[in-house]
Amino acid sequence: MKTIAIIGAGGWGTALSIALARNSETIRLWVYEPDICQSLCEKRINEPYLPGFFIPANVSPTTRLETAINGADLVLMAVPSQHLRAVCREMLPHVRREQIFLSATKGIENQSLLRMSEVIGEVIGSHFESRLGSDFAPRLAALSGPTFAREVAHGSPTAVVIASQEEALGARLQKQFSTPNFRLYTNTDMIGVELGGAVKNVIAIAAGVCEGMGLGSNAIAAVITRGLSEMTRLACACGGRSETLAGLAGLGDLVLTCTGAMSRNRSAGVELGRGRTLQEILGSTRMAIEGIYTTAATVELARRQKIEMPITEQMYAMLYENRPPKEVLRELMERSLKPE
């Protein structure tokens, strides 16, 4: 693939432009904010989202979707989950049927409860259906795993998962993007990979709350372990595989996000545990805290699948019903006793 369009220039999209530029001829980076695009063009640094890292010469920032997408072999989506559908719709005049679409966004759409690749597939597929028939399906893949943007941009050793129901497509992307410090594993379980990447953000908020309340390492370990159980139940109920959740896109990403100091979801939980309000936390950053939005969608999806997710449900109560952290903790600890 000679030309790649990366749609979204937050910290993650910018870091991916740096990592993928090593094996790609041309990267076009679509930037929503004109001031950030100007900074990227002039200084080659994304100061608000990824300060301290220069983007390579073969990365071309633009605020025009048409410029980014036209002629691209691969369109990589790295916009916040709740904006993905709107951006995909804006892309429609410029996309081609043969392009590959790769989701690097971790989340669940609140209204539809669709995974990110499903949102992309629905919008792009509907666009071509009238001309190509209902049998047409876009070529889709998803990228997930334990990644902090700064470490990926720095070139620190990182292992991720590329998921696609097309084994040949997964293998092609694996070969294209792997470097000595950026290792890709393939997986055909898109459900497990995407739900693992989404729900781990909810559990990371809970781990952060434990940290903020000073509850100690035992409590955090319990949240991680029981959180993994919740993630696995949901993924399997939706058609995913349990072994996927035991891998990089499940346990690996969960451990990183629950314990790493650079985790925005964990940090939000820490502040909630210390008594700050959700409004104060959201007002103090321009970066997306995906777990806040994913919590509501996950609770609804779990109810639809008729499964229990007590940690996720209590995070919903805290985030959306203003339940105090101490009350949430008591609810979790006083649940009826049962086998593991």
Asked if 43 is an active-site residue, the reply is no
CATH classification at residue 267:
1.10.1040.10
Last residue of a domain, one of 152, 168, 188: 188
Same domain? For 249 and 152 the reply is no
pLDDT band at 335 (very low <50, low <70, confident <90, very high): confident
Q: State the Cα–Cα distance between residues 278 and 269, nearest whole angstrom.
A: 9
Counting the structural domains of the chain, the total is: 2
User: Which of residues 335 and 153 earns the better pLDDT score?
Assistant: 153
Q: Is 299 within the bounds of a domain?
A: yes
Structure tokens at 188: 């055909």
**Can you tell me the mean pLDDT for 166-190?**
97
Are residue 90 and residue 216 in the same domain, yes or no?
no
Same domain, 266 and 284: yes
221 and 125 in one domain? no
pLDDT computed for residue 275 by the predictor: 94
* 338 falls within a domain: no
What pLDDT sits at residue 58?
97
104-123 pLDDT, tens digit each: 999 999 999 999 999 999 99
| Whole-number average pLDDT of the chain | 95
For residue 155, give the CATH number of its domain.
3.40.50.720
> Is the pTM for the entire model greater than 0.85?
yes
Same-domain pairing of 145 and 201: no
Mean of pLDDT values over 20-44? 96
Q: What is the pLDDT of residue 134?
A: 72
Burial of 185 (0-12, 13-18, 19+ CB in 10 A): middle
Catalytic residue among 2, 200, 306, 326: 200
The helix (run of H) or strand (run of E) holding residue 111 is none
Verify that 164 and 200 share a domain, yes or no. Answer: no
Among 216, 225, 231, smallest CA distance to 291 is for 231
The stretch 173-180 carries a mean pLDDT of 95
Same domain, 32 and 173: yes
Domain-ending residue, one of 163, 188, 213: 188
Sign, CA torsion 5/36/86/280: positive
| Residue 144 lies inside a defined structural domain of this protein | yes
Out of 188, 211, 242, pick the residue that ends a domain: 188
Q: Which domain holds residue 150?
A: 3-188
pLDDT digits (tens, 9 = 90+) for 207-261: 999 999 999 999 999 999 999 999 999 999 999 999 999 999 999 999 999 999 9
